[in-house]
Structure 1
Amino acid sequence: MTYYSVLAVTPNDDGWIPDYLPVAGSVIARHGGKYLARTTSHEQLEGQDSPAGLRIILEWPSEEAAKAFMADPEYAPHLQARTAGSDSVHFLIAGKDDLA
């Protein structure tokens, strides 16, 4: 089953970004993931204000692939840098409709 990572990331220190981008991209691809959106162009249409600098959507071939990416030793120091240098929220969402 396809899974999606949906992130809201607001950097509070940009120092981690130049090293993060190429490594994250290659590790994501190695685990079968791909970016669907990675943008500052977003608009909240509903709910309590939840601002973020970036909205990111990744597609994964499976839950296991997404979790393997998050646990990848090559990614670990970059994840630590991102979480230390930003306010981040990451949801992993199953590509299914439980209400159908």
Structure 2
Amino acid sequence: MPVYLIAQVKVTDDAWVPEYAAKTHEIVARHGGKYLSRSANITTLEGTPPDTTLIALVEFPSLDAAKAFANDPDYAPLGKARQAGSEGHFWVIDDTDAAGDIPYLPKG
């Protein structure tokens, strides 16, 4: 079952960004993932706008693949650099429907 990693990042020191942007895509792909978006163009339709620089959406083939990416030894120094130069949250959601009434989504 596919899962989606949602990364919300507020950059506080951009020294880490060039290397992270250049190398992370390859590590994501190694684990079967692909970026669906990595954007700073955030439009708030409802609620308080997020205090964030960018939001990334990455599709992985499974939760295990997303966890393997997050725990990849090649990603570790990039993740540490991101954490030192930003505030952020990483979430993973699956493709289920919690209400169970959308016919093209599995029931959650």
TM-score range, shorter chain: over 0.9
Cα RMSD, aligned residues only:
1.0
CA distance in 2, matches of 1:49, 1:79: 25
Residue equivalent to 1:16: 16
SS in 1 for 2:89: strand
Residue equivalent to 1:75: 75
For 1:19, the aligned partner's letter is E
Unaligned 5+ runs, structure 2: 101-108
SS in 2 for 1:64: helix
Whether 1:29 aligns to 2:29 is yes
Q: % of aligned pairs identical?
A: 41
Unaligned 5+ runs, structure 1: none
Number of equivalences: 100
* Structure 1 residue 95, shift from structure 2 partner: 1.0
* Structure 1 residue 98, shift from structure 2 partner: 2.0
SS in 2 for 1:93: strand
Runs of 4+ in 1 over 6 A off after TM superposition: none
- After TM superposition, the score normalised by the length of structure 1 is 0.94
Larger RCO of the pair (alpha carbons < 8 Å, separation 6+):
1
- After TM superposition, the score normalised by the length of structure 2 is 0.88
